[in-house]
Amino acid sequence: MKVLMISIDKGLLGKGQLGDVVERHQEYARNVSQLDIIVFCSKGFEPYKISPNSTAYPTNSSRKLRYACDAKKIGKKLFKENQYDLIVTQEPFLTGLVGVCLKKKFGAKLLVHLHGDFKGLFFWLAKLLVLPKADGIRVMSQGQMEKLSQYKEKVRVISTPVDLEKYQRTENREQRTEIRDQRTEIRDQRTEIREQKTENRIVLHVGRDDKVKDYKSLLKAFGLVKQKLANVRLVKVLGGKEFSKAVKEYSGNDLKVDVYPKTDHKSLVNFYHQAEVVVLSSTSESFGKVLVEANACGKPVVSTATTGAKEIIQDGYNGYLVPIGDYQALADKIIYLLNNPQKAKELGENGRKLVKEKFSNNTAQIIKFWNDLIFKN
């Protein structure tokens, strides 16, 4: 089985990967004869060898308007060298349109992923131009599937694979990472977290730098937390321009925010284990892998009630759900868990059990979907 992916994740080019994206695709490649990936990006990248039978090819576009055209050109070249059986696109918009064009020309099956909780004009266009042409559609949650009832025979709910064993470790002093001043460099990308004292209890946010994360609500909520509890620190992992902009615009009291723009997977696990509470303030999430990872580390979670979060959190069992945009409710739940460590521990342990039962390294399900599309349709 030969597979061609079309992606927007620059981490697949070996630079600045978010979490375990390269490792996940190495696992996919182990299950097929060939896996090649076209990645939308600006100039400055080189092809990246993910594994012996998998390479990521950058579009190296002069501007964003060229992404789709450049990807189509590369796709045609790759198809002439390797007759792929399946095209997989990361989203139903630009990568989806490229997939439709390549399917029409070369006759391969087309699988479209919906990693985001899409809506509005672009989603309407996707349902008009892309999804009807797809042979299969993969969504991350049941909530997403319900929005695609007209395509129910094509759709499967398969969330992003999470290797839970990587997050479930016994803490000891050697593994603990010290969360230092914001200006401290992370040597060799290996952050060592030392045991945190009560004056530095950590509220953790992990996620790509994106407006959809609603940093304004996150900072307002944490500002309210600081009014009640002085000995708390907000740690933002994978912060960038959007988060920095929100911090500058914030007009409240001293936040005590530590920002880590980059981290490796081992350090990420350490961040989770040192947190008291893991929080998401997003306006939209198709799944919320961060919530699964936090629960796998035995940590309670507080999140806005996005489509993805509702798939993961059983309110009051492994965490709490609050209305989207309600920073007061977000703060109230964070304060409650910080003031009630036994309850926090209970929710974290419940979360550890829940994700083990409900979520797993579901690579096998993804590969089976690929096989079903190629050989059964």
What CATH number has the domain bearing residue 97?
A: 3.40.50.2000
CB 46 within 8 A of CB 28: no
**How many domains does the chain contain in total?**
2
- Clarify whether residues 281 and 292 are in a common domain: yes
- Clarify whether residues 190 and 326 are in a common domain: yes
- Clarify whether residues 330 and 181 are in a common domain: yes
- Clarify whether residues 146 and 183 are in a common domain: no
- Clarify whether residues 322 and 204 are in a common domain: yes
Half-sphere exposure of 252 (CA within 13 A, CB side): 18
Which of 97-111, 117-131, 360-374 is modeled with the greatest confidence?
97-111
DSSP state of 83: -
The interaxial angle of helices 67-81 and 94-106, nearest 10 deg, is: 30
Q: What is the mean pLDDT of the chain?
A: 87
- Clarify whether residues 132 and 171 are in a common domain: no
Q: Which two tokens stand for residue 205?
A: 């946010």
> 133 in helix, strand or coil?
helix
Q: Which amino acid is at 66?
A: R
Q: 35 pairs with which residues across the strands?
A: 3, 54
DSSP state of 45: -
Question: How many other C-beta atoms lie within 10 A of the C-beta of residue 155?
Answer: 22
- Clarify whether residues 171 and 28 are in a common domain: no
pLDDT at 138: 95
Domain region containing 83: 2-161+361-375
Average pLDDT for residues 166-191, to the nearest whole number? Answer: 48
> 29 in helix, strand or coil?
helix
- Clarify whether residues 270 and 325 are in a common domain: yes
Predicted TM-score of the model (pTM):
0.76
* pLDDT tens-digit readout, 322-358: 999 999 999 999 999 999 999 999 999 999 999 988 8
Any idea which of 86-95, 189-198, 235-244, 360-369 has the lowest mean pLDDT?
A: 189-198
Q: Residue 168 — pLDDT band, cuts 50, 70, 90?
A: low
Q: Is residue 186 over pLDDT 60?
A: no
- Clarify whether residues 206 and 240 are in a common domain: yes
- Clarify whether residues 268 and 210 are in a common domain: yes
- Clarify whether residues 176 and 113 are in a common domain: no
